[in-house]
């Protein structure tokens, strides 16, 4: 009996041992990988290591945007022992009193969410306090914080990021794929309470590509400061400034007002301050657009700067619509003076000679009606109707800058065509991607070089005595050229033009080889001080002067000792005399829908020697003839004289230079 019991016991022990050995064999051999995987799942935690977002620099290497390491506190609401206690503890440690954390925890718990961000970007002191808590339901994650060290500077260019550091505006959004980088992974070994014991890096995060912009932060600061002051001084609603190198297309500054601080989250989804008025908000350009009209005329007709244009008595009626000059008529004057005095009637007369088809083609050639391709989201193409949509008076309207909408960046691109000798250059905002220079698209021929040269000479008259940009746009030590604009703003509700204006000025300097183009637009100005010559030209003066200084462009004019802007404003009126071009009052009047001249009205007087006709003469003959008359010549090129400014028959001030273009 005893032996039988021993046998049973031995058999039972043997079976029990066999079962244990079988189970061990199953665990260690058959299902080893499965159980090891489950063990690792309990002991190891895979954490994502965020990749530092690529920094953004200006052309001189000054940082404009960077990512700084920071930490984030998270919890698993489903594992909280008591929501109220947890909320109170976290609010005290993280200084979040009154944050409504309990309600957030309760909502996450009821929704079954296992992850909730409690607070981002905690301080080192707060991180130390959290780690000291004797609980296992709080985690601190490594993160990064996007920081814009210059605050509001270049905010519309840079844009911003969301809490996950995904770009949501500006360059941050446009180049998000390059800036974002690739996150890495870290394996964290934990104890039974999920507390970290050891860690090892599985994959290393790859930082985003650094971006170098073409802008100069010093010039950007000047542009933004001057723009903000002008908007406030003239009661405008908004404004923009673009500074561009006409040869390379590099954007040296791009300012928009009102501005914002990209370090702060948007107050609403439609924060109007974040609109980039230089690229995304089109407007009617007004008289600035007459530059395109005259350029098309020089290209497609036999009109020349000295060709007489009958501007009548200040009005013209087309198909039942009467268009007026702002302050009377000009009679007959050379086409160059049409631009210098910004005559609406004269521009319409010129546009009629150009014709609808040619004008439309050249407007498109200069880049209007299509985006420039600048790498900023939301760029507007403006508004240019197809020829089939033009009305009977569209030719007249577009000739003087109405019935078309443009952006400041489009105007800068178009004026650069005049400045660089007739080539359309795509604006460039990105100078480098990492260490690699950003590619540049080839320029496209738009107008002949001689047309561009002639237009520069005509536009110089705008900043000379008698022009609508004088004296505000006249630069000290540099020759310059430009065009004012004061477009009345159309009210779509009443279907009428208001007495508020888009005051603008587009200019270039120095004249012989322009290194910069500056375009200033103030939207919603009013009163006499809101015209382009009064409101926008001073901004051009300040920004262009600083741009020329920063780019080390040598001066090409002597300083005028004792001459100040106030003294220049007090100089007597001095229109260029026009001889032998027909009858009619040659009186300096207002120039376009609201464009007031720089001088008070008065009859034209002959102030100095009359310019002879140099065309067809050799350079030696020109210099000899000029010397005999006491005139100063600024020659360009070689061969025989082809183009001159001022035109023949004009009277010049003492010391005023005559520009003559020679060609073979």
pLDDT in tens, 70-120: 888 888 887 788 888 888 888 888 888 877 888 888 888 777 777 788 888
Phi, psi angles (nearest 5°) of residue 239: -175, 170
Check whether 603 has a pLDDT greater than 50: no
Spell out the SS3 assignment of 512-536: CCCCEEEEEEEEEEECHHHCHHHHC
Query: What residues does each domain of the chain span?
Result: 47-213, 217-261+272-557+588-604, 605-664
CATH fold of 605-664: Trypsin Inhibitor V; Chain A (3.30.10)
- Scanning the structure block, which residue is given the tokens 């240019």? 384
State the pLDDT at residue 38.
64
What is the distance, to the nearest Å, from the Cα of residue 413 to the centroid of all Cα atoms in its chain? 12
State the pLDDT at residue 191.
56
Determine how many CB atoms are found less than 10 A away from the CB of residue 400.
27
At residue 198, the 3 state secondary structure works out as: strand
At residue 35, the 3 state secondary structure works out as: helix
The rounded distance, in Å, linking the Cα atoms of 646 and 655 is 13
- Work out the pLDDT band at 575, boundaries 50, 70, 90: very low
Q: What is the CA radius of gyration of the chain?
A: 35
The pair of structure tokens assigned to 151 is 């605050």
Percentages helix, strand, coil for the chain, rounded to the nearest 5?
Answer: 35, 25, 40
Check whether 125 has a pLDDT greater than 70: yes
By annotation, the residues acting in catalysis are 287
By mean pLDDT, which of 250-259, 288-297, 310-319, 566-575 is the weakest? 566-575
Q: Which residues pair with 160 in a beta bridge?
A: 169
At residue 372, the 3 state secondary structure works out as: coil
DSSP letter (8 states) at residue 425: -
- Work out the pLDDT band at 641, boundaries 50, 70, 90: confident
For residue 600, cis peptide bond before it (omega within 30 degrees of 0): no
Query: Higher pLDDT residue, 107 or 260?
Result: 260
By mean pLDDT, which of 179-183, 268-272, 352-356 is the weakest? 268-272
Q: What percent of the chain has pLDDT over 90?
A: 48
Domain covering 47-213 in this structure, CATH number = 3.90.1310.10
The rounded distance, in Å, linking the Cα atoms of 280 and 370 is 12
Query: Higher pLDDT residue, 325 or 381?
Result: 381
State the pLDDT at residue 510.
95
State the pLDDT at residue 270.
57
First to last CA, the chain: 135
Most confident of 472-476, 607-611, 622-626: 472-476
Q: Is residue 541 within 8 Å of 472, Cβ to Cβ?
A: yes
Q: CA–CA distance from 378 to each of 224, 271, 280, 372, 612 (Å)?
A: 21, 15, 6, 12, 52
- Work out the pLDDT band at 68, boundaries 50, 70, 90: confident
- Work out the pLDDT band at 527, boundaries 50, 70, 90: low
Q: Is residue 592 within 8 Å of 323, Cβ to Cβ?
A: no
What is the distance, to the nearest Å, from the Cα of residue 500 to the centroid of all Cα atoms in its chain? 24
- Work out the pLDDT band at 587, boundaries 50, 70, 90: very low
The rounded distance, in Å, linking the Cα atoms of 398 and 445 is 23
CATH fold of 217-261+272-557+588-604: Beta-lactamase (3.40.710)
The answer for residues whose C-beta is within 8 angstroms of residue 22's C-beta and 6 or more apart is: none
The rounded distance, in Å, linking the Cα atoms of 153 and 590 is 37
Handedness of CA 87, 90, 95, 101 (dihedral sign): negative
pLDDT tens figures, 554-573: 998 886 655 555 555 554 33
State the pLDDT at residue 234.
92
Tell me what the pLDDT averaged over the chain comes to: 83
- Work out the pLDDT band at 512, boundaries 50, 70, 90: confident
Check whether 32 has a pLDDT greater than 70: no
The pair of structure tokens assigned to 178 is 């390059």
Is there a shared CATH topology between the 47-213 domain and the 217-261+272-557+588-604 domain? no
pLDDT tens figures, 268-311: 655 778 899 999 999 999 999 999 999 999 999 999 999 999 99
Q: Which long-range contacts (CB under 8 A, 24 or more apart) does 542-546 make?
A: 542/222, 542/226, 543/219, 543/222, 543/223, 543/226, 543/241, 543/243, 543/253, 543/518, 544/243, 544/475, 544/478, 544/480, 544/507, 544/509, 544/516, 544/518, 545/475, 545/476, 545/478, 546/218, 546/219, 546/222
Determine how many CB atoms are found less than 10 A away from the CB of residue 40.
13
Report angle CA 98, 140, 195 to the nearest 5 degrees: 125
Q: Is residue 356 within 8 Å of 395, Cβ to Cβ?
A: yes
pLDDT tens figures, 42-52: 566 666 777 88
Q: Which residues pair with 637 in a beta bridge?
A: 662
The rounded distance, in Å, linking the Cα atoms of 175 and 194 is 39
The pair of structure tokens assigned to 89 is 């503890």
Nearest residue to 401 (alpha-carbon basis) of 445, 440, 348, 442: 348
Nearest residue to 330 (alpha-carbon basis) of 578, 633, 70, 23: 578
- Scanning the structure block, which residue is given the tokens 């990988």? 33
């Amino acid at each position: 009996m005893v032996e039988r019991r021993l046998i049973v016991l031995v058999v039972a022990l043997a079976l029990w041992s066999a079962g244990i050995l079988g189970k061990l064999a199953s665990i260690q051999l058959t299902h080893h990988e499965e159980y090891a995987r489950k063990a690792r799942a309990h002991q190891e935690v895979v954490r994502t290591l965020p990749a530092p977002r690529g920094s953004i620099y200006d052309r001189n290497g000054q940082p404009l945007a960077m990512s700084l390491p920071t930490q984030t506190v998270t919890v698993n609401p489903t594992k909280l022992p008591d929501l109220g206690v947890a909320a109170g503890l976290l609010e005290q440690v993280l200084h979040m009193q009154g944050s409504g954390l309990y309600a957030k925890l309760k909502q996450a718990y009821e929704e079954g969410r296992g992850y909730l961000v409690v607070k981002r970007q905690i301080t080192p002191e707060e991180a130390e306090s959290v780690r000291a808590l004797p609980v296992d339901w709080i985690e601190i994650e490594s993160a990064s914080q996007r920081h814009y060290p210059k605050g509001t500077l270049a905010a519309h260019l840079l844009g911003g990021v969301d809490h996950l550091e995904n770009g949501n505006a500006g360059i941050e959004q446009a180049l998000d794929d390059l800036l974002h980088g690739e996150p890495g992974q870290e394996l964290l070994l934990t104890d039974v309470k999920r507390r970290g014991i050891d860690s090892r890096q599985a994959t290393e995060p790859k930082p985003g590509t650094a971006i170098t912009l073409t802008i100069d932060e010093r010039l950007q600061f000047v542009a933004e400061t001057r723009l903000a002051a002008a908007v406030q001084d003239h009661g405008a609603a908004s404004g923009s400034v673009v500074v561009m190198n006409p040869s390379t297309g590099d954007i040296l500054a791009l300012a928009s007002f009102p501005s914002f601080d990209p370090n702060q989250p948007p107050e609403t989804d439609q924060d109007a301050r974040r609109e980039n008025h230089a690229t995304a908000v089109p407007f009617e350009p007004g008289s600035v657009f007459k530059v395109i009209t005259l350029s098309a005329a020089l290209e497609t007709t036999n009109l020349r700067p000295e060709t007489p244009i009958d501007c009548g008595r200040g009005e013209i009626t087309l198909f039942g619509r009467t268009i007026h000059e702002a302050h009377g008529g000009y009679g007959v004057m050379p086409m160059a003076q049409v631009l210098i005095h910004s005559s609406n009637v004269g521009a319409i007369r010129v546009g009629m000679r150009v014709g609808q088809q040619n004008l439309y083609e050249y407007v498109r050639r200069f880049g209007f009606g299509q985006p420039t391709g600048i790498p900023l989201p939301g760029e507007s193409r403006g508004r240019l109707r197809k020829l089939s949509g033009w009305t009977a008076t569209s030719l007249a309207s577009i000739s003087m800058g109405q019935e078309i909408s443009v952006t400041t960046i489009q105007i800068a691109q178009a004026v650069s065509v005049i400045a660089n000798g007739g080539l359309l250059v795509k604006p460039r905002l990105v100078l480098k991607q990492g260490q690699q220079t950003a590619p540049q698209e080839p320029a496209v021929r738009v107008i002949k070089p001689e047309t561009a040269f002639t237009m520069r000479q005509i536009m110089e008259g705008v900043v000379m005595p008698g022009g609508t940009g004088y004296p505000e746009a006249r630069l000290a030590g540099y020759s310059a050229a430009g065009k004012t604009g004061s477009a009345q703003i159309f009210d779509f509700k009443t279907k009428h033009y208001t007495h508020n204006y888009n005051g603008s000025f587009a200019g270039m300097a120095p004249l012989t080889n322009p290194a910069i183009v500056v375009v200033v637009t103030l939207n919603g100005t009013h009163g006499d001080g809101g015209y382009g010559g009064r409101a926008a030209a001073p901004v051009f003066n300040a920004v262009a002067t600083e741009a020329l200084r920063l780019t080390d462009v040598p001066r090409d004019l002597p300083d005028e000792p004792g001459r100040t802007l106030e003294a220049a404003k007090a100089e007597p009126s001095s229109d260029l005399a026009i001889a032998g071009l027909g009858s009619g009052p040659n009186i300096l009047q207002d120039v376009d829908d609201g464009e007031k001249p720089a001088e008070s009205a008065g009859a034209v007087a002959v102030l100095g020697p009359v310019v002879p006709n140099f065309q067809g003469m050799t350079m030696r003959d020109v210099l000899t003839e000029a010397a005999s008359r006491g005139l100063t010549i600024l020659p360009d090129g070689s061969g025989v004289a082809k183009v001159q400014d001022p035109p023949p028959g004009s009277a010049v001030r003492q010391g005023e230079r005559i520009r003559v273009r020679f060609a073979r």
